[in-house]
Amino acid sequence: MLKFGTDGVRGVANADLTPELALALGRAAARVLGGDRFAIGRDTRRSGPMLEAALCAGLVSEGADVELLGVAPTPEVAWWSVTAGAPAAVVSASHNPFADNGIKLFAAGGRKLADDVEERLEVELQRLLGDDARNRPPDAPTGAGVGAVRAVSASAHAGYRAAVSATLGGRDLAGLRAVVDCAHGSASVVAPGVLSDLGVEVEVIHAEPDGTNINAGCGSTHPQELARMVAARGADVGVAFDGDADRVLLVDAAGELVDGDHIIAICAIDRHERGALAGDSVVVTVMTNLGFRLAMDKRGIHVVETQVGDRYVLEELESRRLHLGGEQSGHVIFRDLATTGDGLLTALQVLDVMVRSGRSLADLAGEAMTRLPQVLHNVRVAERDPAVAERLAGHIASVEARLGDHGRVLVRPSGTEPLVRVMVEAPTEEEAKAAADELVEAVESLGGA
C-alpha cells in the first residue's frame, strides 16, 4: 500500500496508485476529514480523469457532495478550500513524469494535512482495503443520502485569477515582456491570462497538453528551452511552472536561471526594506544554499531552517507567525497571501518588485545573494530508506571535516521516490564534485536499485 510522503500519495498510475486505492482513499477522506462537501482538481495527465472518477466515487459513497474543478492548478484548489471552508483534493504528481500520478488532500481552509491526520487516514485506508468490497457498512448512504457530483464551469477559474491579481494591491505589470512556460500542465488554463490582464506582453510556450507531455523537456524541471527563447526574443523575464503550478523558476533577460533561493531572497529583501517582512525572518529548508544564509545574515534577516517539504515550511511560518518561506525548487509560500505554494502568485510578486524598483531581474538576483557551488545527485535505490544518513554517518562526517565551515553536506531520502539525494556545497565546483562523488559511491555501496 502507498504511504503518505511529504506531499500526499504518489506512484505510477494504475500500478502503484490504482483506481481501487483512490476509491478507498476517497472513502477514508470523507470519514476522517469530515464535512459534506469536497472539491477535486487535477493536472493534465492521461490518468487524471481515471483517478478523479475513483476518488469522487469514494467521496460520494460516503455521502459527500463533490465539485469537480477539472484541470486546475494546485493553489487554485487550495484557494477553493479556503473560500468554501471545505476539504479538497488534487490529482497530480506535480513535477514527476507523466506516467506517475498522486493525490494530495487539503483540510478545510486550504491547509495540508497534519501528521496525525495522515496517520488516521492511513489506518482507515488500510482497514477499507482489507474489507471485502461487497460488505458495505449497514449505515452506508442510499437514495438521496448518496453524494451529488457537479462539474464546475470554466468560469470558476475567474475567482482564483482575481484573487491572485489582487495581491498586487491594484498595481499592474505593464511594460514587461515575458516568455511563459506552462509545462503542458495546469498553469496553461490560468497563468497566461492573468499575466496578460496585468499588462505583461506574454509569449506562451508548452501550453498544449495532450495527456502525455506534462513536464516533458519543459517547465521548471527543464528550463533550457525557455532560457534560450528569453535571450533570443529580448524578453525581460522567463517564467517556468511545474505540472501543477505550485512552484515556479524564473529566467533573467540573459537566459540565466533564477531559482527558489534567489526568488525568496529578492522578496525577503524587498519586504525587509519596506518594513513588511514579518519578524524580519524567512523560513527555508536544509537544501537552501549556504550563500542564501550568508546574504540574509548580512542584512539582519533571521533564517529559520526546516526539513525538506513545503508542509514543514508552512508549519514553521504558522507557528512563528511569519509570512515568507520556501524551497530552492521554487516552491515559495507567502503565508499572508495564500495557504500553500503558488507558482503564479510567486511570479507576480517578483515581477512586481522589478516594476516598482525599475531594475532588471539579473540586478535584483545578483544583489540578493551569491550562490556557493552546489552539486546535487539523485541516487536511485531499491526502496526508500529513512535511515540512510545514519547508515552513512562515518562517510558524511569525514567529508564535513574536510570542508569545515566553508561547505555543507546533506544526504537524505526523497519523500516521494526511491531516491537518495546527495547535496554538497563547497568553495569551488571541483571540491563540491569530488565530495559528492565520494558520497554517491558510499550510497551505492549500500545497494542500488
Active site residues: 94
Cell numbers that stand for 339 in this block: 495557504
Cell numbers that stand for 388 in this block: 540512510
- For strands 100-107 and 9-12, give the pairing: antiparallel
How many angstroms separate the CA atoms of 325 and 214, rounded?
A: 27
CA 21 to chain centre: 23
The b/e string for 347-362 (b: 16+ C-beta within 10 A; e otherwise) is: bbbbbbbbbeeeeebb
Long-range contacts of 271-276 (CB under 8 A, 24+ apart): 271/323, 271/324, 272/299, 272/300, 272/301
How many angstroms separate the CA atoms of 126 and 128, rounded?
A: 5
How many angstroms separate the CA atoms of 244 and 226, rounded?
A: 18
Cell numbers that stand for 403 in this block: 570542508
CA distances (Å), origin 443, targets 299, 308, 388, 408, 411: 38, 19, 8, 17, 9
How many Cβ atoms from other residues are within 10 Å of residue 228's Cβ?
Answer: 14
Instruction: Give the bridge partners for 257, in sequence order.
Output: 251
